[in-house]
Amino acid sequence: MLTPTARDTVKLTAETVQRRVSTDVLSAINAPATLGLTTRDRLERNRFSVDYDFRDDAFRWFQTAHVQFYYQDAKQDQYAFETRGAPLKSRSRDNQYKERTFGGAAFAESGFATGPLAHKLLYGVDGSLSRVTNMRDGTVPGVGEAFPNKAFPDTDYTLFGAFVQDQIGYGRLLVTPGLRFDTYRLSPTENDPLFTGKAVSTSANELSPRVAVLYEITPAVIPYVQYAHGFRAPTPDQVNSSFSNPVYGYTSIGNPNLKPETSDTFEAGLRGKAGTGYGVVRYSAAAFTGRYRNFISRTTIAGSGRPVDPFVFQYVNFADARIHGLEGRAEWVMPNGITLKTAMAFTKGSTQNDGAASQPLNTVNPFSAVFGVRYEPGERWFVQTDLLFQAAKRDKDVDKSDCSNKACFTPPSSFVVDLRGGYRFNKHVSATIGIRNLFDRKYWNWSDVRGIAADSQVLDAYSSPGRTVAVSMKVDF
């Protein structure tokens, strides 16, 4: 970090992540056909960035500004070897995915007044250019498949956005209107001999307004309402993917007609901070509802999952989707070092295509809540426990089309306890130890089993890990 002047700061950051995971997939054993399956996953990510920060409350045009440029190179290699019984030949698969991204962002904040109104104007731009590539290789390819090949063509993916918002204050009232412009372009390589599907280019842009109104009755009681228009661009694999694994009974195809998703959401809530005779309490609660047009979701469009009739997965647009729910959190920080925290979330959703009946939205998770207690008497050490509850997923909240119209597996409710602690040796070195699922409970997360049939023989393979211990050490320079 460099500080050439009192108002200028330059920060250079280099980050690298190396991860290796080896797995013996016992759930894949199905003698005499499959005698064993081992996998090796490798993840490598390098990121370099330059950040510039400016702060000068006396500067006329703007008081704060931030500029960032970054480069990221991410690679993922998934290798699998399947040992098969005679007369079948053992086989391997090697899937590689690479993504190189150049990007940047810049924003500034200007404060000024117009009569009795105080303004805090925030404006800026952000953008990125990514080159996304992939390769599939292996031995003993499936029927109708040749190695090497590509699940989607090499693609340039460009995103750009610009925004402006003005926080207008009048006494205890704050009104914040804003406007954002987004555009994207997806440009695949044409005539790639290793990609057998049809590649298409897509692009679109959107203006997204928003407005929020907040009134501070007291610091402990602050109601607010807000409206926001949203925009989500499809990704390269959603548009141009083409992948088939007939042996395991599934196929994934791209959707060249996939449109960007837009949304209109409304939220009303209450938040505040209050000092009590014994500590400080912070809380927030909100109710929200949203309507999505051309909602993007992966679904099963055909097949039964057998080699002769594989599942066909595709990202599609639902003409209309609606999501509503409640969420809240609270924190009580006591002067003796004890902190109590709690949070909850409840969401419901549905999708509908033109002329069809409404169906539940399967990407919505069931009700969840967490309660935590943390004891930190000083800056040297802490201990914390969290109690996590997840309600059961109900059959009526599941669209069975994801399970080929058979009964889907709906996980029961779960209650899990986590425990962790930490110790700071000095200002540079600290260590933490955590025990996840302290009582070794067997449970499933809905997001992990969505689309799995109730009569699946490998449900246990989708359960969350049992008791897990993790130890880490952090060194700050």
DSSP string covering 236-260: HHHHH-EEEETTTTEEEE--TTPPP
Domain with 426, as residue range(s), is 366-477
**Sign of the CA dihedral running 242, 303, 404, 30:** negative
In a domain, 429, yes or no: yes
> Do 86 and 188 share a structural domain?
yes
pLDDT at residue number 190: 84
**Paired strand residues for 276:** 279
User: What is the helix (H) or strand (E) element at residue 324, kind and residue range?
Assistant: strand 311-333
In a domain, 342, yes or no: no
> Do 311 and 388 share a structural domain?
no
> Do 293 and 378 share a structural domain?
no
The answer to whether the CB of 423 falls within 8 A of the CB of 381 is yes
* Distance separating alpha carbons of residues 365 and 450, to the nearest angstrom: 10
In a domain, 269, yes or no: yes
> Do 314 and 374 share a structural domain?
no
> Do 146 and 35 share a structural domain?
yes
> Do 184 and 134 share a structural domain?
yes
Which of 264, 292, 429, 286 shows the shortest CA–CA distance to 345? 286
> Do 400 and 325 share a structural domain?
no
Token output for 429: 């070195």
Per-residue pLDDT of the chain (477 residues; tens, 9 = 90+): 888 898 999 999 999 999 999 988 877 777 788 888 898 999 999 999 999 999 999 888 999 999 999 999 999 998 989 898 888 889 898 989 999 999 999 999 999 999 999 999 999 999 999 999 999 899 888 766 788 988 888 999 999 999 999 999 999 999 999 999 999 999 998 888 888 877 889 999 999 999 999 999 999 999 999 999 999 999 888 888 766 665 555 677 888 889 999 999 999 999 999 987 789 999 999 999 999 999 998 887 776 665 556 678 888 898 899 999 999 999 999 999 999 999 999 999 999 887 778 899 998 999 999 999 999 998 899 999 999 999 999 999 998 877 777 789 999 999 999 999 999 999 899 999 999 999 999 999 999 888 888 888 778 888 999 999 999 998 877
In a domain, 338, yes or no: no
Quick count: other Cβ atoms within 10 Å of Cβ 160? 15
Last residue of a domain, one of 280, 315, 333: 333
Quick count: other Cβ atoms within 10 Å of Cβ 209? 12
> Do 272 and 377 share a structural domain?
no
Token output for 239: 């548009």
pTM listed for this prediction: 0.83
pLDDT at residue number 278: 86
Last residue of a domain, one of 284, 312, 333: 333
In a domain, 102, yes or no: yes
In a domain, 201, yes or no: yes
Domain of 94, CATH number, reads 2.40.170.20
> Do 402 and 305 share a structural domain?
no
Tally of structural domains, the chain: 2
Residue 459 Cα to chain centre, angstroms: 24
In a domain, 354, yes or no: no
**What is the C-alpha R_g of the chain?**
26
Last residue of a domain, one of 291, 310, 333: 333
> Do 195 and 289 share a structural domain?
yes
* Distance separating alpha carbons of residues 318 and 92, to the nearest angstrom: 37
In a domain, 17, yes or no: yes
